[in-house]
Amino acid sequence: MDFKELLAYQKAFLLAMEIYKISNLFPKEEKYSLTDQVRRSSRSVCANMAEAYRKRRYVNHFICKLTDCDGENSETTVWLDFSLECGYISNEIHSDLTTKSKEIGKLINFMINNPDKFGCKPN
C-alpha cells in the first residue's frame, strides 16, 4: 500500500487544498503571516504522514512522525481560529474546517495507537 491510500492522508490533503482555496481570499497584508502559516501547517500534516509511512519499519520513528502530524494538525486549528476572529472566514466555514481537522486528528491518533495495523513490526 502507498501512503496516498491512507484515509488520514486523503482527508488531510483535501483539507489542505480547501484551506489553500479559502486563504486566497485573505487580505494581501496577511500573505506572509496568517495565510502562509495556515497553508504550511495544513500541508505539513500530509508531508509528515508520508515520512511516517516510509519509516514504518521502525515503530518509534513512525510514531514520532505521526506525532508531528498531530501537532501540525492542531496548529492548523489555531490558525483557523485566528482566521475566524479576524473576520476572514465565517462561523460556518470555521466549523466545517475544524470538524474535518478533528476527524483527521482521530485518524492520526488511531495510527499512533495501532502501528501494527500499518505495517510496523515490533522492535
Task: Render pLDDT for 1-20 as a digit per residue (tens, 0 to 9).
Answer: 799 999 999 999 999 999 99
Residue 87: which pLDDT band, with cuts at 50, 70 and 90? very high
Task: Render pLDDT for 37-77 as a digit per residue (tens, 0 to 9).
Answer: 999 999 999 999 999 999 998 999 999 999 999 999 999 99
Question: Given this model, what pLDDT does residue 17 score?
Answer: 98
Domains in the chain and their CATH numbers? 3-114 (1.20.1440.60)
pTM above 0.85, yes or no: yes
The rounded distance, in Å, linking the Cα atoms of 37 and 30 is 10
Question: Given this model, what pLDDT does residue 1 score?
Answer: 77
Please enumerate in sequence order all residues whose Cβ is within 8 A of that of 91, keeping only pairs 6 or more positions apart, or say none.
84
Residue 80: which pLDDT band, with cuts at 50, 70 and 90? very high
HSE (CB half, 13 Å, CA atoms) of 58?
Answer: 8
Question: Given this model, what pLDDT does residue 114 score?
Answer: 95
Question: Any alpha helices (H) in 6-118, and if so which ranges?
Answer: 7-23, 34-54, 59-85, 91-113
Residue 123: which pLDDT band, with cuts at 50, 70 and 90? low
Residue 122 has pLDDT above 80, yes or no: no
